[in-house]
Chains A and B, each alone.
Chain A
Amino acid sequence: MNQKIKQETKDIELIIGKILRVGVFVAAAVILAGLAMFLIEGTGGYPANAHPSRPAAIIQGAIALKPYAVLMVGLFLLILTPVLRVVVSIYAFFKEQDWLYTWITTAVLVILIGAMVIGYFG
């Protein structure tokens, strides 16, 4: 492995590490807040066995501070953490002018966005 690739890989890994740490921390904090609300109120804020899964419903519920909606926001942030990692990697590979891996990483992101669309419409 040549020196340039070695250095750029190191830089990218450092950024990814930071992103993961912040992402997990924020997601865990939101989930904990939602759980605390759920335990105090004793209800999720929705009828039995129902929870919001559409973005609009989740946002509305979260603004109204309904426990299940807050939990869904937290869970989404947790799911988003690895996605964010892919986004940062694209930028990092692009900045290092590694075109091959800019494309490969973009392909991964496109698949992840495709998954959201499939889940939403499927």
Chain B
Amino acid sequence: MVTQALILAGVGLMAGVLGALLGLGGGIIITPVLTLILGLPIQYAIAASIVAVIATSSGATIAYLKDEMLNLRVAMFLEIATTVGAVLGAILTGLFNANILYFLFGALLLFSVYNMIRKMLMKPENIKAPVPDKAAARLNLNGEYFDKSTNQLVNYQVTNVPGGFAMMFGAGLASGLLGIGSGAFKVLAMDTIMKMPLKPSTATSNLMMGVTAAASATVYFFNGSLQPQIAAPLAIGILIGATLGTRLMQIMPTKVLRWIFIPVIGYMGLQMLLKGFGVTIG
């Protein structure tokens, strides 16, 4: 039991560092390691992972607040959608068969691989033409941020509020169901659908992750899925790991690292997908 706690703290540390270096949340790394390598039940892994997401989100938000990048109103408004989705997801996790969860998680990992490749091949951000939007104006969602690389204040307008809101519900659902931060889906909703610039989208997504995760974490906490001996060492490990990871990010060749780890994540995704069908591969 004590040995397991130490191993879990190590897993958290590694997930925190890797998550930061690869640009993924720690949650997406934790569940495959806990289930495939340590052989823990997937429901326990998901509940522990969502607590780790809160730990990383709170840590990251502290860093972003100083940068004045995030859009608090966009975060608050869209959290209505993500929290409802997250609670629903957490309830579904308790009802679903473990095989369904393995299958969904495997599919998610393969999607993340696709997303990582797409991001790395993407050209630098193009400035989006502002489209005036009535709902966005009424909700006071438009904002501005200071871009350090170009040294200028960027004003932006958001558009397609209902589309972003719907996508956020899906992001919350995935977060509660699979114990992930679902930052990729959140950024997709703000950046691709609502046409918010990438930098405030990323900062706002980080802030939202914590509140979204808190919604499903309380369900897991009170229904007994949250195992203290698993979640506690993981949370401490990931808190230290994520801090370390953000420091390392500045001195390590992250691009090379990402290319190295893409096949690893793809392989884990395939393993989980097959486990969903009852097939185990080495």
Contact = CB atoms under 8 A, between A and B. Distances in A.
A79 B218 contact: yes
Given A68-B229, A122-B91, A112 B1 contact: no
Tell me whether chain B's interface is mostly helix, strand or loop, or mixed.
helix
Contact of A75 (B215, B219, B231): B231
B152 interface: no
Contacts of A118: 87, 91, 219
**A-B pairs, 4 with minimum CB distance:** A119-B222, A71-B228, A82-B210, A119-B219
A24 B55 contact: yes
Given A24-B59, A115-B83, 6 more contacts: A24-B58, A28-B236, A74-B232, A75-B51, A85-B211, A105-B76
Contact residues on B (Cβ < 8 Å of other chain), bracket: 35 or more
A113 B2 CA distance: 34
B232 A101 contact: no
Contacts of A5: 140
Interface string B148-182: 00000001000000000000000000000000000
30 contacts: A9-B72, A13-B68, A16-B72, A21-B62, A24-B55, A24-B62, A32-B236, A38-B5, A44-B1, A51-B224, A53-B223, A68-B229, A71-B228, A71-B229, A72-B228, A79-B51, A79-B218, A82-B54, A82-B214, A83-B214, A89-B72, A100-B140, A104-B77, A108-B80, A111-B87, A115-B218, A115-B219, A120-B223, A122-B219, A122-B223
Interface residues of A, number: 56
Interface of B: 1-2, 5, 9, 51, 54-55, 57-59, 61-62, 65-66, 68, 70, 72-73, 76-77, 79-80, 83-84, 86-87, 90-91, 94, 139-140, 142-144, 155, 210-211, 213-224, 226-229, 231-233, 235-236, 239
Contacts of B68: 10, 13
B144 A1 contact: yes
A78 B254 CA distance: 30
B6 to A, nearest CB: 8
A13 B219 contact: no
A20 B1 CA distance: 31
B242 to A, nearest CB: 11
The residue among B58, B77, B239 with the most chain A CB atoms within 10 A of its own CB is B58
Nearest to A20: B58
Tell me whether chain A's interface is mostly helix, strand or loop, or mixed.
helix
Interface in A37-90: 38-39, 42-44, 51, 53-54, 68, 71-72, 74-76, 78-83, 85-86, 89
A39 B5 contact: yes
B229 A44 contact: yes
Contact of B229 (A38, A105, A107): A38
A53 B90 CA distance: 16
Contacts of B143: 1
Given A79-B218, A82-B214, A85-B210, A71 B1 contact: no
B2 A38 contact: yes
Given A85-B210, A89-B72, A112 B215 contact: yes
Nearest to A119: B222
A100 B95 CA distance: 36
B251 to A, nearest CB: 25
A101 B228 contact: no
A59 B214 CA distance: 20
A31 B211 contact: no
A68 B230 CA distance: 11
B228 A107 contact: no
A89 B79 CA distance: 13
Contacts of A76: 221
Contact of B2 (A1, A14, A42, A115): A42
